[in-house]
Structure 1
């Protein structure tokens, strides 16, 4: 008779835990299994015995340390080792986003991170935004930009994180275009109302572009090699696929639009910066073409005609 699926899943999670301890912490004890999964000593012993049979060479018993240790050529079968994932977990732990028991270290390594001045998002704000996205409706919001505070009517269709803050991608009913609104700048809500728009018309959101990031040409050969290693470049370049609507944030975060900065400060150069601006402008024009009523046109139709391709970025 086949073993119940859930029992197999639970056992495989324990095997993954064993490999995590061996790979990242360098040792494993039966008591680790007992504490992490609230299982009996006999069950932990069976798990260890079965795992050693399945993954011969991955684990050895060190009689001096009185614990299991990784084999010389450990090849995890149940764990996908990812330094990025582990470091992200540690970062989330430091910021309070994850509880301590999610990270399987018995004793945490010494860690710290530079303070992050987080932008607070009110849970009621996010709840209303998500509700409007589900119902395809518009919301009246009082929005504080860098220049003024006023009531706006927006129809949200997506959320995005720019590396520092969350914003909502929405149809701006007053400007008749798609824009970004920083969630932490919404300080009051009015009622909901019907909205007539198609998320598919947000061409910037639905179109991607490949950015070619290079080491700054002003760097020395040693500096260039260091940057290539930092960013995992291949043949001196790193290709990054990004939505057109998010390209602005990537470029700003890495100072790729500030060509006068010292090479050691900016470190990178965007090979196709001009192409990004042209593609964003073309996407805005395509959106405008889609949403203008048949026969409409010209500034009197109430649509935004900004020349700046980054005009939809939040103020």
Structure 2
């Protein structure tokens, strides 16, 4: 990092959080949309035109070479020498571009550029989600009705510890008092959850007791030996050295491997262009309760039985 960059970082770190957020938004619009107007800042943060002018002036004081005024339409444009002041996390950038920047009410926010999503076939009810997230945040138990394939409709007491999106649906990781263990509950199958304010949480029900949740596995993924274009796979997954290393919770490893259609067979026997990646060491999944979800996975112990992690 050069001296000017160090000075910039020192100046930015000394500013109040609210000021940094406004400067980050200016940086974002210049970088990803290629234009900035005073009204953009004023509308986003609910400030007046004079305050927006001061924010832009402060950005120019810190990085004058990053923007120039286009007098034809009174908009600032990024210069050819533009270097972003902030590290913009890819996931947040894509979320902002596709769903709007910041928090909004109802349907006010729209995409910042034309964007298309896969159709969501299943989403949880907000009246179900809210008690669950309150329970996670406050460390409380819930009483709920849950419908599973195995047991049908039953009443459960659960202690939620986290929400998980497996790529196709949401579930809640929770301690199940009925089965005395941690399980995954599909949110769309949860009905009428009620917070149990006066139900004490036992030590065994706390998140630090969930071995599968706390165990982190490192997976080494490589281009599938049967794939016709290894160089394309390496480009798609950003793996210049030919290996993609991913760290994932044991409780969620099977979900990830299934979502991305990764061949986990010991002899990479699965065929089809959809199998772009192969798990180089299938033994890395050993002991993970979600391993049975991984395409092609074979339990190295022939007599081992892997218990389903979904509350069936």
Q: Would you say same fold, with TM above 0.5?
A: yes
2:156 is matched with 153
The 5 A counterparts of 1:227-306 are: 227-256=233-262, 259=265, 261-276=270-285, 278-280=286-288
1:313 is matched with 310
1:288 is matched with none
Structure 1 window deviating more from structure 2 (125-134 vs 52-61): it is: 125-134
- The CA deviation string for residues 66-119 of structure 1, in whole angstroms up to 9 with x for no partner, is 432212111222x333443221234445xx98767767x8xx432222211123
Deviation at 1:174, TM superposition (A): 3.5
Question: Per the alignment, in what secondary structure is the counterpart of residue 218 of structure 2?
Answer: strand
Distance 1:126 1:210 in 2: 33
Pairing 1:68–2:96 present: no
Pairing 1:13–2:21 present: yes
1:175 is matched with 179
Deviation at 1:309, TM superposition (A): 2.6
Task: Identify, as 1 or 2, the structure richer in helix.
Answer: 1
Contact between 1:140 and 1:190, CA under 8 Å: does it hold in 2?
yes
Compared CA separation, residues 72 and 7, structure 1 to 2 (3 A)? closer
- Equivalent residue pairs, number: 279
The 5 A counterparts of 1:187-198 are: 187-188=191-192, 196-198=202-204
1:185 is matched with 189
Which one of 57, 60, 84 corresponds to residue 91 of structure 2?
Answer: 84
Distance 1:29 1:11 in 2: 17
Compared CA separation, residues 211 and 97, structure 1 to 2 (3 A)? farther
The structure whose RCO (Cα within 8 Å, separation 6+) is larger is 1
- The CA deviation string for residues 13-43 of structure 1, in whole angstroms up to 9 with x for no partner, is 3332322222122122334334444444444
Distance 2:189 2:181 in 1: 19
1:142 is matched with 145
Question: Per the alignment, in what secondary structure is the counterpart of residue 187 of structure 1?
Answer: strand
Deviation at 1:269, TM superposition (A): 0.9
Contact between 2:227 and 2:276, CA under 8 Å: does it hold in 1?
yes
Contact between 2:263 and 2:270, CA under 8 Å: does it hold in 1?
no
How big is the alpha-carbon RMSD for the aligned residues of Structure 1 and Structure 2? 3.6
* Unmatched tracts of structure 2, length 5 or more: 1-12, 290-302
Pairing 1:22–2:30 present: yes
What TM-score does the superposition give when structure 1 sets the normalisation length?
Answer: 0.73
Compared CA separation, residues 254 and 83, structure 1 to 2 (3 A)? closer
